[in-house]
A = this chain, B = another copy of it.
Amino acid sequence: MIGRLNHVAIAVRDLDAAVATYRDTLGATVKPPLPQPEHGVTVVFVELPNSKIELMSPLGEDSPIAAFVERNPGGGIHHVCYEVDDILAARDKLKAQGARVLGTGEPKIGAHGKPVLFLHPKDFLGTLVELEQV
Contact = CB atoms under 8 A, between A and B. Distances in A.
A27 B4 contact: no
Interface residues of A, number: 39
B125 A3 contact: no
A67 interface: no
A122 interface: yes
A89 to B, nearest CB: 11
Given A8-B8, A50-B50, A82-B48, A127 B77 contact: yes
Interface of A: 1-5, 8, 10, 12, 18, 21, 24-28, 48-51, 53, 55, 72, 74-77, 80, 82, 93-94, 97, 99, 121-127
